[in-house]
């Protein structure tokens, strides 16, 4: 029977919480933590080939399961490598625990005057403190139980997010009888265990929101990732169906309703289908749940967002609410308790309108603008349009698939704008950080806990940033297909260099020093099967092959190199040389003024006239 260390107790505590996978890279500085992961029978360990990938995989484990994501990294380079993953989880509010090794207490660079004292020492706490909800070095072995308990609680409470504990080697290895850990209560820290009691203030907020919803002719719910964080996605879905309330979705909530559902008013923002933004501006009442309405969502003009609507915003973060304009009614509540109360309050109301006219108006706009295509007219016979590919891919899925995507680049943006999701698909990305390199580690995290085949949609430049994780996927060896979009490098940045720097390309493609490898050979080296798609006549058949394939497959899609991201809200230079952001409802390519007026009415934004002059 091995002796029990503090590290063993930490892992047992995490297993009690339901954590059954831990993602790690071993080193000298975390050796007792790593040994303890291996010794805990309820936890499977997943070694990645980079700490950034371990943390991202842990984030996706948390997204898929609703449990705490856990990554174990070593001191020094292991810790600095972890930072990108920590930042991604912070901006997207995902509960995550990063356990980092640290030099032993006697070697610790206590007053910080030396650059470094212990071997490979680095001060992760200082680096991570603005990217975590809690970051602490556990110097005192006696308080580790409280530290870990507090860290887990903080990760889940309020607006969830990452926490980080550094554990010095001598603390990791300290022998203990475990009594202090045994005294911890596990149930309090499960995500469902928040206090559901609705106070009178919340009850009255729900009642007035209910009144406004009833009075509205064109109501709309904006559903953000906070709804998923609160684990009330199903409740809200039933709620909007019961009351026939149309919803507008942020990218992380794309899978909330199928694209063609009559209540789905689309995904709005700077890059969006036209109808989604028009619906926002036609609505007379908007209830925003768990979305921070950042500039990308409001097209850099929150003052004009939902310009014809009364807007209620419910968010757990007071700082996010403080940035909202005065005309919004802001309610600082955790959706964990607010949603059940809202459902209860509205359930009591019988006089709900069916909003038939509004639902039909949205359906007509979706029909008119939901299927617009923006393929380039240039002929590249050996490559297909990304717009065609995404349309065919949407049709090629039956529904029910698990899909993860990269986080950055033109291909991913076109996917989130134009993919027509089907019922019961699970689709996920990390949005706030927008980092390249997320796709493969995200797939590691999801595939490690999924019984189902999974799909990854990723672009060539981004795949290269964590290419080594192909091997982790091969080692896990679960069925998956990677749709790899090859447009010869950084298409999105090439577009920027073309638009703003007269086509002076620097580091964005083969003509400017950035080359991609032959992915067919990469596939072979990592033990993946391979299909190349480049001909529109074969694309449906090949997508069919990719969908029915049962092993590990890279499906490389050769897409046109310089297609543009459309439609979007443009920044327009006027005749008098001013830079203006177009109104959210008036996307480029611009409609003729007459058509635009026929949709929006004569009271159009004066800017819409100016940008056409």
Residues that bind Mg ion (CB under 5 A): 459-461, 487, 491
Closest distance of CB 514 from Mg ion, Å: 10
| Contacted entry of Mg ion, ligand TPP, none for residue 434, CB cut-off 5 to 8 Å set by kind | ligand TPP
* Minimum CB distance to Mg ion smaller for 160 or for 461: 461
436 binds ligand TPP (CB under 6 A): yes
92 binds ligand TPP (CB under 6 A): no
Q: In the 3-class helix/strand/coil scheme, how is 498-549 assigned residue by residue? A: HHHCCCCCCCCCHHHCCCCCCHHHHHHHHCCEEEEECCCCCHHHHHHHHHHC
User: Pattern 179-198, binding to ligand TPP, x per CB under 6 A?
Assistant: --------------------
How many helical (H) and strand (E) elements, i.e. helices and strands, does the chain have?
26, 20
* Minimum CB distance to Mg ion smaller for 8 or for 508: 508
| Contacted entry of ligand TPP, Mg ion, none for residue 435, CB cut-off 5 to 8 Å set by kind | ligand TPP
* Minimum CB distance to ligand TPP smaller for 449 or for 516: 516
What lies within 8 Å, CB to CB, of 131 at 6+ separation is 83, 86, 87, 90, 162
| Contacted entry of Mg ion, ligand TPP, none for residue 40, CB cut-off 5 to 8 Å set by kind | none
Nearest to 274 by CA among 560, 566, 535, 1: 566
Half-sphere exposure of 278 (CA within 13 A, CB side): 25
434 binds ligand TPP (CB under 6 A): yes
Using a 10 angstrom Cβ sphere, with 0-12 exposed, 13-18 middle and 19 or more buried, the burial of residue 482 is buried
* Minimum CB distance to ligand TPP smaller for 263 or for 386: 386
Peptide bond into 567 cis (omega under 30): yes
* Minimum CB distance to Mg ion smaller for 25 or for 484: 484
Closest distance of CB 216 from ligand TPP, Å: 39
390 contacts 418 by C-beta, under 8 angstroms: yes
In angstroms, the CA 580 to CA 571 distance is: 5
* Minimum CB distance to Mg ion smaller for 401 or for 488: 488
Q: Which of residues 449-478 bind ligand TPP (CB under 6 A)?
A: 459-462
| Contacted entry of ligand TPP, Mg ion, none for residue 482, CB cut-off 5 to 8 Å set by kind | none
| Contacted entry of ligand TPP, Mg ion, none for residue 298, CB cut-off 5 to 8 Å set by kind | none
Query: What are the backbone angles phi and psi of residue 338, rounded to the nearest 5°?
Result: -70, -40
* Minimum CB distance to ligand TPP smaller for 88 or for 252: 88
435 binds ligand TPP (CB under 6 A): yes
In angstroms, the CA 439 to CA 456 distance is: 7
103 contacts 168 by C-beta, under 8 angstroms: yes
Structure tokens at 397: 């899925």
Q: 221-257: buried (b, 16+ CB within 10 Å) or exposed (e) per residue?
A: bbbbbbbbbbebbeebbebbeebbbbbbbbbbbbbbb
Q: Which of residues 493-532 bind ligand TPP (CB under 6 A)?
A: 493
- Choosing from 448, 492, 542, 581, the residue that interacts with ligand TPP (CB under 6 A) is 492
- Choosing from 70, 89, 103, 410, the residue that interacts with ligand TPP (CB under 6 A) is 410
Closest distance of CB 461 from ligand TPP, Å: 3
Closest distance of CB 153 from ligand TPP, Å: 32
In angstroms, the CA 507 to CA 187 distance is: 52
- Choosing from 124, 151, 491, 522, the residue that interacts with ligand TPP (CB under 6 A) is 491
Total count of residues recorded for the chain:
613
| Residues in binding contact with ligand TPP, number by CB under 6 A | 17
Closest distance of CB 478 from ligand TPP, Å: 24
Q: Where does this chain touch ligand TPP (CB under 6 A) — which range of 137-145, 183-191, 449-457, 483-491? A: 483-491
Q: Which long-range contacts (CB under 8 A, 24 or more apart) does 31-37 make?
A: 31/101, 31/169, 31/172, 32/5, 32/6, 32/7, 32/169, 32/172, 32/173, 33/7, 33/72, 33/99, 33/101, 33/167, 33/172, 34/72, 35/7, 36/5, 36/7, 36/8, 36/10, 36/11, 37/11, 37/72
In angstroms, the CA 256 to CA 326 distance is: 29
52 binds ligand TPP (CB under 6 A): no
In angstroms, the CA 588 to CA 520 distance is: 37
* Minimum CB distance to ligand TPP smaller for 154 or for 522: 522
* Minimum CB distance to ligand TPP smaller for 421 or for 462: 462
- Choosing from 256, 490, 528, 558, the residue that interacts with ligand TPP (CB under 6 A) is 490
* Minimum CB distance to Mg ion smaller for 59 or for 488: 488
| Contacted entry of Mg ion, ligand TPP, none for residue 302, CB cut-off 5 to 8 Å set by kind | none
Q: Where does this chain touch ligand TPP (CB under 6 A) — which range of 347-355, 370-378, 397-405, 485-493? A: 485-493
* Minimum CB distance to ligand TPP smaller for 11 or for 436: 436
Q: Where does this chain touch ligand TPP (CB under 6 A) — which range of 223-231, 250-258, 357-365, 407-415? A: 407-415
* Minimum CB distance to Mg ion smaller for 341 or for 458: 458
- Choosing from 74, 176, 408, 421, the residue that interacts with ligand TPP (CB under 6 A) is 408
Closest distance of CB 407 from Mg ion, Å: 13
In angstroms, the CA 375 to CA 80 distance is: 42
In angstroms, the CA 98 to CA 130 distance is: 15
Give 235-293 as a DSSP string.
HHHHHHHHHT--EEE-GGGGGGS-TT-TTEEEE-SSBS-HHHHHHHHH-SEEEEES---
User: Which position's Cβ is nearest ligand TPP?
Assistant: 409
Contact residues: ligand TPP, CB under 6 A = 408-411, 434-437, 459-462, 487, 490-493
């Amino acid at each position: 029977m091995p002796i029990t260390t503090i590290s063993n107790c930490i892992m047992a505590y995490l297993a009690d919480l339901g954590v059954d996978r831990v993602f790690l890279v071993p080193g000298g500085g975390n050796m007792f933590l790593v040994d303890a992961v291996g010794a805990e029978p309820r936890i499977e360990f997943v070694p990645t080939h980079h700490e950034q990938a371990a943390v991202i995989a842990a984030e996706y484990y948390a997204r898929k399961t609703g449990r705490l994501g856990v990554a174990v990294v070593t001191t020094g380079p292991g810790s600095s490598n972890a930072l990108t993953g920590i930042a991604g989880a912070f901006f997207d509010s995902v509960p995550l625990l990063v356990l980092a090794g640290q030099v032993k207490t006697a070697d610790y660079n206590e007053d910080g005057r030396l650059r470094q004292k212990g071997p490979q020492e680095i001060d992760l706490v200082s680096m991570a403190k603005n990217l975590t909800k809690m970051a602490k070095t556990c110097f005192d072995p006696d308080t580790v139980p409280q530290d870990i308990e507090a860290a887990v609680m903080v990760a889940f409470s309020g607006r969830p997010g990452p926490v980080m504990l550094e554990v010095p080697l001598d603390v990791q290895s300290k022998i203990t009888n475990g009594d202090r850990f045994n005294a911890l209560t596990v149930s309090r820290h499960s995500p469902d265990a928040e206090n559901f009691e609705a106070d009178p203030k919340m009850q009255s907020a729900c009642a007035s929101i209910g009144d406004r919803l009833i009075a509205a002719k064109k109501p709309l719910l904006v559903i953000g990732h906070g709804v998923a964080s609160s684990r009330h996605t199903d409740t809200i879905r039933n709620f909007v169906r019961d009351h026939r309330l149309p919803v507008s979705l942020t990218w992380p909530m794309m899978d909330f309703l199928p694209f063609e559902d009559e209540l789905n008013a689309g995904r709005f923002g700077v890059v969006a289908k036209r109808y989604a933004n028009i619906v926002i501006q036609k609505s007379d009442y908007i209830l925003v749940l768990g979305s921070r309405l950042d500039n990308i969502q409001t097209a850099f003009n929150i003052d004009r967002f939902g310009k014809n609507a009364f807007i209620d915003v419910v968010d757990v973060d007071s700082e996010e609410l403080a940035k909202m304009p005065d005309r919004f009614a802001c309610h600082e509540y955790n959706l964990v308790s607010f949603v059940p109360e809202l459902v209860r309050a509205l359930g009591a109301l019988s006089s709900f309108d069916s909003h038939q006219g509004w639902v039909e108006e949205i359906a007509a706009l979706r029909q008119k603008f939901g299927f617009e295509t923006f393929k380039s007219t240039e002929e590249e016979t050996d490559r297909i349009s990304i717009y065609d590919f995404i349309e065919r891919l949407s049709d090629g899925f039956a529904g029910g698939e698990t899909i993860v995507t990269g986080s950055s680049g033109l291909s991913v943006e076109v996917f989130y704008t134009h993919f027509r999701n089907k019922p019961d698909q699970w689709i996920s990305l990390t949005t706030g950080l927008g980092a390249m390199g997320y796709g493969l580690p995200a797939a590691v995290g999801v595939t490690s806990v999924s019984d189902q085949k999974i799909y990854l949609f990723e672009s060539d430049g981004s795949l290269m940033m964590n290419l080594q994780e192909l091997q982790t996927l091969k080692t896990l060896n679960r069925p998956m297909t990677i749709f790899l979009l090859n447009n010869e490098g950084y298409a999105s940045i090439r577009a920027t260099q073309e638009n703003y720097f007269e086509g002076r390309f620097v580091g964005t493609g083969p003509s400017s020093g950035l080359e991609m490898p032959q992915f067919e050979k990469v596939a072979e080296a990592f033990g993946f099967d391979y299909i190349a798609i480049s001909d529109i006549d074969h694309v449906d058949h090949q997508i069919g092959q990719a969908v029915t394939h049962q092993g590990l497959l890279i499906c490389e899609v050769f897409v046109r190199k310089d297609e543009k991201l459309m439609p979007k809200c443009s920044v327009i230079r006027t005749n008098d040389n001013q830079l203006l952001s177009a109104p959210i409802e008036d996307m480029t390519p611009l409609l003729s003024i007459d058509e635009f007026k026929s949709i929006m009415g004569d009271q159009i934004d004066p800017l819409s006239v100016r940008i056409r002059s």
